Structures are given as C-alpha cells and as structure tokens.
Structure 1
C-alpha cells in the first residue's frame, strides 16, 4: 500500500467501534492512538537535513522503498513519517508499505537477530532487487533499547525512555544512517 493507504488504515483502526485483533486489546488500541499523534507531529514538524535532502535528490535511478511496519509499533511512529518525507523529495522513489502481521509476511525474509522487529526499510532497485536493508531503529536508540532489556526494565520505563530518545534526536540519527545507506547504494548502482 502507499502512504495514503497506510494513513487510511490507521484511521480505520482508530474509528472502528469493534476493532479486530490485536486492536481489540485496549493496550494495542491505546498504543495506536499515541502512535497516530506522534506520526502526525513528525509529519508536521519533522525537518529533513540538507545533507539528507542532497543525498536523496542525487538518486538517479528508480528505487522502491518497502517499509514493513504496523500501526501499533512505537518505533515506526517516529521513523515512518521521516521515510515518507525523505522519499517524497525524489520522484524516482516509490513507497510500498507492507504490514508485518498480514500475508505475505514479508518480515520473515528480514528478521533482526531472529525477531520480527519493525520498522524495516528495504531499498530495491527498479527490477525489484534488494540493494539495502535498514532497521528497526537508529543505532543510538538500539543501544538504549538493549541497555533497558539487560536491566529488565518494565514496559512503561522502556516506552518512556525510548520516546524521550526519539523526541531529543528529532530524526537526525535516522537521517545520518539513511544518508550513509543511500551513499553506498548510489556507489553500487553507478558501478
């Protein structure tokens, strides 16, 4: 689905009087409501760095960015809006959003240490060949996540500290990492 369809899916979940699993669980529905707000905030206020804009505008061949995600995913609420805004800078990039928990279960091909961690960005060339994979979160955020897991932090603490990390970072780490990925992809496609 494209980004507009993804937003509609999000809204349909939030407006459904009798949501389907997992959104029939009040916790999932509440995460999704929070994620909608976070996503909308980044769509309005997220700033694309000049370096990122230059890197994406330098793409000269067709690319498809496959984003594997779900509306309930907290990391995705902070990442997917930036991916959308970045891709929108170059008409050679199309976005295809795939749900992690819906067939054809594309995530099975892109596991992180054996887990279905999302969001995942798969950058493909015009022929559908994978050129790069990124995700599920920026390296600095992953360090924090791993530390919290080692400390056996409860979910509430994890949620708050990760949220604070994303708020303070403002998408800069994601963009720096993605800029490096795009630079490598560009070198390969020009070779």
Structure 2
C-alpha cells in the first residue's frame, strides 16, 4: 500500500497544474484517462466551466475555517480524479479551498487511469468511483484514511433514484448537479473536517 501511495504522490499534480493539464488536453480535443470519446470530452468541457465558476464562488464557512486553522498536524490530501468526472468537478474546488484555508494541508491530484494500483486500494462497492481523497500524514507518510467519492447526501440521492428507476440516467445526473448547487460545498466541508479532527486528536 505504501508503495502505491508513494508512486501516486510522485505522479501527482498541484491543483493549478491539474487544471492546466485538463485544459491543455481539451484544446487538443482530448479528455484525461485511457478512454477517449465525444461524451468524455463533452463532460470535461462542462466540468471546466463548472470548476471556473466554483473556484470563484466556493466559500469556506467561518466555523470550518476556524477548525481547519486549528489542526495541529501537517497533512497531504492525495485526490484520485479525472477531468471528465462530474463529482470531481464539484468537489475539487471545495477541497482546494479547504487545503489553502488550513495552511496545514497540501493538496495533490493524481489521475485514476494512470494509477491503477492506487485506485484498486480505494474501490467503492468494487467500482473505481472517484474522486477519492486520501489523507496522508506529511511527516510519517502514513495513510490515515480516505473520503469519497461523494458526500452522504449525494450518495443517498443516487441510491434512492437507482432504487426507484433501476438506472442512473441523465435525469439522475441533473438531479445530482442540482443537489451540489444547493449544497454549496457545505456537506463536503463538514464531512472532511470531521474526519481530519479525528486524525488530528
């Protein structure tokens, strides 16, 4: 496990570098990842717009800001992502703002398809769902835990939809985006800070 995480860190990008990587590929008409399709490029383009908006509008709540600043340890958040992933587009701007706010967390982003060994350690119901935030102690390099691929409310929304309609279709995806829009990143902030406080104590 330590080897996969070390390899992941070696292959990782800071937030702005990751954003540039996705943008540069889009200029060539490509998406990140092993598969290339019109759909994936289309989703990546949508996500680019979404992330540009969220980078400007996401706000860390006062309460969470205080908790982030009072963390005692130093941490790395290694996030498994891809440019076409809708959840990652909603969550990465929040995660980035939290890391910046804390002064204690270094954010690194790694591409799922290029880091299969790492992804296999963090499957959700046997699937390679992303994003996954892997929390590493910066001093010891020890894995503390992980979070993702979605906040609880978003997970429940998709589970309930699947139960009722048997599929996750475009309507489900639209409902999910609306959920994120109304939530404004607050659930993600609360879940991640609760996790960090557990590790920090």
Asked whether the two chains share a fold, i.e. TM above 0.5, the reply is: yes
Q: Which of 163, 167, 171 is the equivalent residue of 2:177?
A: 163
The aligned counterpart of 1:66 is 78
The aligned counterpart of 1:131 is 144
Q: Which of 109, 112, 130 is the equivalent residue of 2:121?
A: 109
Q: CA deviation at 1:84?
A: 0.4
Unpaired runs of at least 5, structure 1: none
Length, aligned pairs only: 187
Unpaired runs of at least 5, structure 2: 1-12
| TM-score normalised by L of structure 2 | 0.87
Q: Which of 124, 135, 155 is the equivalent residue of 1:142?
A: 155
The aligned counterpart of 1:44 is 56
Secondary structure (helix, strand or coil) at the match of 1:128 reads: coil
Question: What per-residue deviation string (whole Å, max 9, x for no partner) do you get for residues 166-189 of structure 1?
Answer: 0111111111111211111111xx
Secondary structure (helix, strand or coil) at the match of 1:89 reads: helix
Question: What per-residue deviation string (whole Å, max 9, x for no partner) do you get for residues 77-117 of structure 1?
Answer: 11011000110113331111111111354111111111111
Give the aligned CA root-mean-square deviation in angstroms.
1.7
Q: CA deviation at 1:19?
A: 6.0
